[in-house]
Structures are given as C-alpha cells and as structure tokens.
Amino acid sequence: MSAEEQRKLAAIMFTDMVGYSALSQRDDKLAQELLEEHRRLLREIFPQFNGIEIKTIGDAFLVEFQSALEAAQCAMAIQRALAHRDADAPADRQIQVRIGVHIGDVVHRGGDVYGDGVNIASRIEQLAAAGGICISMDVERQIRNALEARFEKLAPTELKNISVPMDLFRIVMPWERAGTPVAKTQVPTKSTFPKWAMIGAVVVLIVIGFFFWSKRTPTISAAPVKSIAVLPFENLSSDKENAYFTDGVQDEILTDLAKIADLKVISRTSVMQYKSGLARNLRKIGEELGVAHVVEGSVQRAANKIRVNAQLIDARNDAHLWAQTYDRDLADVFAIQSEIAKAIADQLQAKLSPNEKKAIEQPPTTDLAAFDFYSRAKSLLLTAAFSATTEPDRRKAIQLLDEAVKRDASFFDAYCQLARAHESLYAVSGSDHTPARLALAEAALQAAARLRPDAAETHLARAQYLYYGRRDYAGALAELEIARRALPNDPRLFELTGYILRRRGQREEGLQNLQRAVELDPRNLFTLQQIALSYQTLGRYAEAIAAWDRALEIVPDNAETRANRGLWYICWKGDTRPLGQTIDAILAQGPGAIATAADTWFFYALAERDPATAERALVAVGYNPCWNESTINLSHSFGEGLLARMTKDEARARTAFEAARAQQEKIVQAQPEYGPALCVLGLIDAALGRKDLALEEGRRAIALMPVEKDSINGSLVLQYFAITAAWTGDKELALQQLEAGLRAPVASLMLSYGALKLFPVWDPLRGDPRFEKIVISEAPK
C-alpha cells in the first residue's frame, strides 16, 4: 500500500433520498429545492455524532464514523428529524431517505474511501425501507446493548456481488410502535440527547399522515412493487420471418415503460433470454430479475392487420392483473404499443410526467419496413450480451440500419443505433480503428442530433461517441449526466460511466457503476464479464472468479465463460489444473465446442509447454486471433511463431512471424496513430530480431497511448513493451519496463503471477535473479 493510502476499521453510512429521480422528472424546481433542504438538514446532524462527510453522490451521502454506535445514533437522529418535518408537510413536499450502516475495513485514498466496508454499506442502504435504517450483523452486535432501540432480524440476504449471504437487521423506529408519531422537538445533539432520552422524546400524538406510510417500500425480502420485466412476445404469425417484428413490438413496449421514472424496468438484454415457446416459471423469473411483475404477450400479423395480446402478471403469486387484446390495422401498431405501456403504468399506479407521456406517445417511425430493418439490426447488436458478437454480425447490422434510414430519413432511433454500431467496429472490436469508420459514426450522430437535439438519447449517443471515438472522458460524463434525467432505467448510463471511470484510473468507482448497471440488467453476460475483468485489474482474483461463477449461473454451458474462469486460476495462483479440466470437459462435448475458447486453450497449452496440444488449439483458433487482451490482438500467424519458437523450429518461426508482420503492417498503415496496433508490430519485429526498430515502435506506441490518456490500453502497451524489450535481449530495459508495468493502474494478464511463472514469452529473463525475485513477489499471499 502506498504512503498516500490508509487502511482502517470504520463505520460507513450511506443515505439515499427516496423518489428524487421521479420527482425531478415531474417538477425539477421542487426537486432541487427539496434536495438542498435535505442536504442542509443532514449536514447539520453529521458532526453532532462525529460523522465525516466523504462525498455527496447526487441525492446520496457517504459518511464515515469512528464507531458503529455513533453511526446508528446519527441515522436515528436523521430519520427522527425527517419524520418530524414530514408530519406537517404536504404529501408532495415530504423528504424520505433510506439509510444503510456497516462496519468494516476501508481504504482512504485521494480524499475518497474504498473497500468492502463501503461496498456492503451501499448494498445495505438499497434494502432499507423509505424512512428506515438497515444495518449489518457486525453493527448490531456492537450496538445491541448500547442503543435504546429494538432490532428486527431479516431473512438472510444475498447482496449483489457479495459472495456470502448476510444477516441483516432493521432498527425499529420508536414512532413505529403502536402507531406512535414523532414528538415535535428539536433534533438533539450528541451531548444533549443521551441514549435513554430516545424513547422519552417520543410522545403519543396522532398517527403520522397516511401518505407517509403508504409511500414506504416493500419488505426487504420482496422486489419493489413498481418493478417489471417485459418478456419476449410470442410470434403467432404464419410467416416465421415476423419474429423480428414481434421482437420489435415487445422492445418498444419495454422502451416506453423504461422512460417512466416511477418504475423499475429490466433491460431487454436480460429478458430476451426468456424466449416465448419455452416453459416459463414466472415466480422464478421474477426472482432472477428482481421484479414483482412481468408482462407476457403475443403478436399475430396477417396482410394489413395485426393482433397484439398483452397481459400483466404478479410474479409473486401468478395472479393476472390485467389483459387486453388489440385488433387493429397494421399501421396502428405503434399506437397499440403506447396504449399498452400506459395501461400497465396505470395498473401499477405509476405516475407519468407530461414529458414521459409525450415520449411514450411518440412513434419511432411511420415506415413499417424501416422498423423491420431496425428490429433485425438491434437484435443482432444485442446478442453481444450473450456471446462475442462477430464482426460480420456488426457489419450486417450496419447494412440493415442503413436501409432503415434510407426508407425513413427521420428515423431517430435508427441513427442512434447506427452510430453505436460504427463505434463498435472502431473501438470495441478494434477491427476497423480508422478515421473513415469514426467519420461514419459521427455522421450518424449528427443526423440524430439534427432530428432531436435535446433528446436524452442524443446525449447518450454523443457520450458514447466521445468515449469510444474521441476518448473525451470529461465530455462524455457531462453528456451522461444530462441523459440521466430522462432515461431512469437505462443501464447503459451506469455501464458507460463505469468504463470511463475505469479508464481514468478510478477503478473502484468504475466497478460500482458496473454493479449498478447489473441491477437494471441482471443477466447481461457482457457486463458481468466486465465486472470480473474489473476485479482482475484490481488484483482481486477471488472476487473475479465469483463474478465468473455468477455469469455461469446464466450460461452454464458457455465454453468461453467457463474457460475464462479457469484462466483466472492460472493468473492468480499459477495453477493450470482447473483450466485443463475445463478444456477436457469442453472437448468431450464434441467438435466445435471449443471454438469460442480456442485462444484460452492455446494459452493453456503454452503455459503447460505442450506443443501437440498447442498445435491442436491453433487449428481450433482458425483465422481468429490466437490471443487478445483488450486491444492487443495477436494473430494466428503470431501464435504459430510462438509455438515454433517454443519447439526451437527457427525456420518455421521466422516464416510465421514474417506473415504476422505483413498482416500487422497493413493494420498500422490504416491507423498509424493507434498505439496498441503499433505495440503489436514492435513485438513482432522483436521476434524477428529487428531490435532498434522494435524498440522504436514500442516507445512510440507508449507515447501514442499514455496511461494518463487511457489507463487500460495505456497500461497494456506499457506492459507488452516489457516483452518486446526482453525479446530484443535488452534485459535491463525489460526489467525496468516490467517493474513500471507492475506499477501501472491496470494489471495485464501477461504480468500476472501465473503468466510470469509459466508463460514462454518471459523465457529470455528466466534465471536472472532480479526477474525471479519479481515473480516471487507477485505470488499470492
């Protein structure tokens, strides 16, 4: 731990203002007024109990205390003050907060606080009722005999991203007993309000207003009442090609509902796994998605007519709450979608602001053929959540979206998707990191901005462009903040924020945002993989494996995910056995099963120094990269060169590396200012013995992609340059770069303990006492 960091045991309190997002949609001026009053009131109370405000996150506070007792006393004082205030306040001007308290290890760094103590407190706060306090067992043990209050033990609760179920308690407020309201007294300070006075300050008056109680959230064991998942609709059309149209109808209903701040709506990426036609256990689905309600339906299209059936079901008891069948002209399909969304919102008693109502009623397009193209493209792009979407899938989606906007030049949503698809080729896959591809993304964004310059979706699309295309992190975060106001249920806001913070080196904050994204998209495999990678970059391998386990609960037979889990054991402990057993199990499934995990199989074979297995793995790799880590892509030819060098077949190695260089040189020529591509070229030149050229290319790659600009790719370029230096025979430079790489913000797989110990790329340094000392220092403690 650096000198700038301090680890300590502390009590952490999280507070969150209930209903603020929904209120800001209805009345932004009133929301800001109440937010400021809320902040002022709480800030008056914190110091009375030695609370130190660490930071404010929108309508939430993170506060640190020296003891669990002071944190609990402060929490009760806050709820007492707010209950007192709300007793005489109109319903629309009440202020309620949720509070969570936990005590545990925290790390102070850069004016902020990190660690499990913080993470668990934030999870506990989300489970508290409005006006309530939820605490961990560790807190309850320390205050049970010191605080004049009653505690109710809750059912063991599994907190998101916390591996072991926790015992939690809620503090029963004195005014909850027998309908006793809060006395109208001033909020006491710590010195003038002893423990015994907490009950004495409560006198029997009239029950606090019905509205106060009616707004309370459900019990911890239940999902939020106003939570919903729109499951894929069944295609009843005789033409099976209408399946995409059916998916489009379902997605539009989901999108309309997601615009309502008073609802929690699960993203399509998670619900699309429950395709119609399969047996559905709605209670189980509700538990898996964390919702109280689900929507099912069907679409039947024939000639110019359409029938849409929809039904709302309480997933907790399978009760059918509402159902309706719409028989209309095909041209009315978008009006049907809006009617369904509004009817469901009405059934759930969700409040709609005028802006939300207007947004729901706005059709995506008037051209049904354009809508077909759009729906097909969106389904292709969304498959990235379940497996690595191939480049042909992305290019096909772009073609479909181009057709959609040709038919309807005012198709705003299609332009937003088109910009994202171009960006994915430019930055996500890295297969076309060229100015021409970025210009296409910018053109699509500009078209969307001309149509709806103030739309939240425009701000989100611009944020994505600024991040993926320009690496303008500050600009992207500013756009996301604007988009957040009208996209309350869009996990992409938290997901993109997580990626930006992670690249800026704020890895803990980035991880927390990814975890929030998963709350709205709990079965998004890609986001879960990114959470696992975030843990890996933090060197927290046990938590990375737990994240992979969570992903495998969703896709237990996914070879890529299973192999990645085994890979972490190599990186973490230098243990190849778990991955070897996984590979054997995948191969037993038959030919082709290993395709998506072939690169990991190749890594395993090289770590085992098993040429025959490495040869088989290379065949399975095909024309895909033999290894890729973020934007460091090593070709099949490069892998053939590695294998040949390991077997000391220098003629074959040179031929393979020459082929790899010819391929990589074309990539660099197309994107000469792109550091990762130049970094790989330097690595190849080092393999070919071109020392001066290799070192020059490596140094220029670092200059083009500094860590300060991009903590992820900057770290990788820095770390792979250590391999380049080692291959050129410059041990001093290699060791210097290796030590610098180990200090970089992000931990590369190639610099993990297992890779340093086992992987052949480090063979030029083996036997050097300084290198061996580094390997030992990286061993798991």
HSE at residue 363, side-chain half, CA atoms within 13 A, is 14
For the ranges 75-79, 188-192, 553-557, which has the lowest average pLDDT?
Answer: 188-192
CATH, range 625-777: 1.25.40.10
Q: What are the residue boundaries of the structural domains of the chain, listed by start?
A: 6-214, 227-351, 625-777
Residue 164 scores a pLDDT above 60: no
Pairwise CA distance, residues 736 & 729, whole Å: 13
HSE at residue 194, side-chain half, CA atoms within 13 A, is 2
Task: Write down the pLDDT at residue 152.
Answer: 84
For the ranges 114-123, 360-369, 532-541, which has the lowest average pLDDT?
Answer: 114-123
Pairwise CA distance, residues 171 & 153, whole Å: 9
Task: Write down the pLDDT at residue 430.
Answer: 59
Domains 6-214 and 625-777 are alike in CATH topology: no
Task: Write down the pLDDT at residue 204.
Answer: 28
Q: Which residues contact 445 (CB under 8 A, 6 or more apart)?
A: 415, 416, 419, 461, 462, 465
Q: Which residues contact 620 (CB under 8 A, 6 or more apart)?
A: 594, 595, 598, 601
- 396 — pLDDT class (breaks 50, 70, 90): very high
| Residue among 242, 561, 237 at smallest CA distance from 379 | 242
Task: Write down the pLDDT at residue 240.
Answer: 73
Of the two residues 219 and 591, the one the predictor is more confident about is: 591
Q: Which fold has domain 6-214?
A: Alpha-Beta Plaits (3.30.70)
Residue 601 scores a pLDDT above 90: yes
Task: Write down the pLDDT at residue 604.
Answer: 96
What is residue 196's three-state secondary structure? coil
pLDDT over 70, % of the chain: 90
- 279 — pLDDT class (breaks 50, 70, 90): low
Mean pLDDT of 675-686: 97
Residue 213 scores a pLDDT above 70: no
Of the two residues 334 and 382, the one the predictor is more confident about is: 334
Residue 431 scores a pLDDT above 70: no
Q: Which fold has domain 227-351?
A: Rossmann fold (3.40.50)
Residue 409 scores a pLDDT above 70: yes
Residues of the chain by 3-state class (helix, strand, coil), percent to 5: 60, 15, 30
- 108 — pLDDT class (breaks 50, 70, 90): confident
Which tens digits make up the pLDDT trace of 461-516?
999 999 999 989 999 999 999 999 899 999 999 999 999 999 888 989 999 999 99
Place of tokens 């010195």: 191
Mean pLDDT estimate for the chain = 86
Three-state SS sequence of 620-649? HHCCCCCEEECCEEECHHHHHHHHHHHCCC
Pairwise CA distance, residues 562 & 549, whole Å: 9
Query: Of the ranges 141-150, 215-224, 426-435, 624-633, which is most confident?
Result: 624-633
Task: Write down the pLDDT at residue 724.
Answer: 98
Residue 198 scores a pLDDT above 90: no
